[in-house]
Structure 1
């Protein structure tokens, strides 16, 4: 077995981030993922940083996938696609609702071809409702979920994350939804349709905001790096210009931190025994902790906190991550050969299984690298492939 999902065949016709990343996670654990791209390629190939014209994001997002070009808006492309659906287990798509139906490839048609098919539909706003047909990206989910409203400094504007947070969360939710549907298929023999709106998973991760407003009428406000649940909790500047993050979610850790920084008197205050009460005295606690940290270099601060068994971490850049011994011990960073770039380093599989681990079989391949191989299974011989290429259906 080449991974625990070996034997599962996935067709990935989604673009950019959430849907394709879910398929990447399945590929990491052995699923055969066929990435069906428009002959011009998935836009992620030209999104973000590039080296010598090669998209670096694609190298991660396309890893372990077979790249096949096929124009689904054409009659020949749709005919071939139906053959591919017939022996697929999962189809991941993120077209605007109604697009597959317009092509005659809606779920009712696909289910007639393959009753066991799991169709994962990942869109900004879902398949139903007044916003369903709007263009939707993770940025909109970060705004509509309430994430942006609580992110930033108290006297500053709402802030968005500088990376695809909502897409990443939606990708993990999609992968879980697919595995749940496959488990249900084991019992019933039938596939089903998954409707996943990117605006929803990030809302779940924001915790008790909705129920707090529903029950108490309270709205969480922007607090910068602080927390309403405990203190001290912040980023602090060190003497050598570094930054460290300190968290005291546990009462015992809060006490250790204050003893370490020479302020045991604060532990005796009546308000110190509650995280929420400590948060109301964040200025005083930040002054005590911040002054102690500001007088010492980063390495000294981290070592002292570790000795005191208090929670701390330096603020890393990507360069620091690649050099960190804990990440090395976990195998978090994979060093892989690549046909276009030589060797590349990227994040490894998401988690470690003791008996059936995942692995990255290859990095994102060149556009259409597996078109002849994969379409050959479905009766597309070299002559037919040449005709399709001439017609612009494949590349």
Structure 2
């Protein structure tokens, strides 16, 4: 007997393109929701980013399984009327349309509430709906730049800041937050004011920096943004910041990557027992044994920290990464080889947990990220493949006419 998914019977209308909104919609679809993706006649712009066939791209595939696709032209009155009719049948309206267009397309909170007071409304905005930059168009890179995330590790090539690994961190974090918001809205339906949510890429970019985004005036003095803005004005400034960040990392022997004889591995020791065990594996003693805190970061300890890093490097380089990972793990020390993303398609741990799914498609088998939810001990395979543009328009319109 097939297990019932928790969001079965919930209809979500997704008016979203690119990353954050579609990722949220896919998560809800994986939980069983009937997600109807409303696309313009030209389709989600992500269909056309580095396409390998007309309207087919890896980027679109990654974020749009388990959905139905309906084409509506919201630039004309007929399209808006059809959209409003669909909204009346929906449990959730999810969009990432800029504020001015959302009002024109009757997707703003007030218009959706007028059409369907019971619907949960969730908007993924760029920089937030208030403030001087509320109406600006912005994508992940802009949010990362504005939030300081682009300089979090001072990475760059040719002395120009760049995203770590090219990953749209603000987008994907915003998608997760939007899915959480929708679920809380569904749980709280019937409570006054519980059905309208806004998530911003700017907020998401700050959220992943929450540990750093704390200013204690007694320790830090007055906010220093102005000084930093004036100081970080050239590529030389970026290089100086990068050197300072690297210098901090180089002083951390227990939480970093090391080069073994045939590749990289990482150690991730966060308490004294793990530090002592890691040293024992390498035939060393933890200089700070008996101190439950991390190795002191003061100048007096700098030489000992650097010396320990160098000794770890020397000993780890004598054997393969697998050799050390197995020994560290046997001693209870968190460790892993450093892998390429592409290796995960065939990795036993990823496949055993359903994190890789294969979908049959017109272009042939497609492997992609599986559902992130294991429900009652079971991995839920995709119920639908990636939809063609407008594939379900007639089907959904017929449902409206019943």
Normalized against structure 1, the TM-score is what? Answer: 0.86
Question: How many residues are treated as equivalent by the alignment?
Answer: 375
Within the candidate set 172, 179, 183, 1:168 is matched to 172
Deviations 1:24-53, CA, capped at 9 Å, x for gaps: 000001100000101111011122463687
- When residues 258 and 180 of structure 1 are mapped into structure 2, their CA distance, relative to the original with a 3 A threshold, is same
Normalized against structure 2, the TM-score is what? Answer: 0.85
Indicate the residue corresponding to 1:91 in structure 2.
Answer: 93
Within the candidate set 253, 275, 294, 2:274 is matched to 253
By relative contact order (CA 8 Å, sep 6+), the higher-ranking structure is 1
Q: Distance in 2 between matches of 1:200 and 1:270?
A: 40
Q: After the TM superposition, which residues 1-395 of structure 1 pair with which residues of structure 2 at under 5 Å, given as runs?
A: 2-48=4-50, 50=52, 54-152=56-154, 158-161=161-164, 162-185=166-189, 187-188=190-191, 192-217=195-220, 223-224=245-246, 231-240=253-262, 242-264=263-285, 267-269=286-288, 274-277=293-296, 280=302, 281-338=304-361, 340-354=362-376, 358-379=380-401
Q: Distance in 2 between matches of 1:91 and 1:53?
A: 25
Check the 8 A contact 1:65/1:364 in 2, yes or no.
yes
* Superposition deviation, residue 192 in structure 1: 2.5
Moved more, 305-314 or 270-279: 270-279
Q: Distance in 1 between matches of 2:113 and 2:106?
A: 12
Q: CA RMSD in A?
A: 2.9
Check the 8 A contact 1:243/1:298 in 2, yes or no.
yes
- When residues 107 and 321 of structure 1 are mapped into structure 2, their CA distance, relative to the original with a 3 A threshold, is same
3-state DSSP class of the match of 1:211?
Answer: coil
Check the 8 A contact 1:3/1:357 in 2, yes or no.
no
Unaligned runs of 5+ in 1: 381-395
* Superposition deviation, residue 296 in structure 1: 1.3
Indicate the residue corresponding to 2:233 in structure 1.
Answer: none
* Superposition deviation, residue 355 in structure 1: 6.5
Q: Distance in 2 between matches of 1:262 and 1:324?
A: 31
Check the 8 A contact 2:170/2:202 in 1, yes or no.
yes
Check the 8 A contact 2:124/2:198 in 1, yes or no.
yes
Moved more, 48-57 or 292-301: 48-57
3-state DSSP class of the match of 1:131?
Answer: coil
3-state DSSP class of the match of 2:336?
Answer: strand
- When residues 268 and 176 of structure 1 are mapped into structure 2, their CA distance, relative to the original with a 3 A threshold, is same
- When residues 49 and 25 of structure 1 are mapped into structure 2, their CA distance, relative to the original with a 3 A threshold, is same
3-state DSSP class of the match of 1:335?
Answer: strand
Q: Distance in 2 between matches of 1:337 and 1:292?
A: 48
* Superposition deviation, residue 255 in structure 1: 1.2
* Superposition deviation, residue 282 in structure 1: 4.0
3-state DSSP class of the match of 1:73?
Answer: coil
* Superposition deviation, residue 69 in structure 1: 0.8
Unaligned runs of 5+ in 2: 229-240
Check the 8 A contact 2:250/2:306 in 1, yes or no.
no
- When residues 360 and 320 of structure 1 are mapped into structure 2, their CA distance, relative to the original with a 3 A threshold, is same
Q: Distance in 2 between matches of 1:377 and 1:136?
A: 36
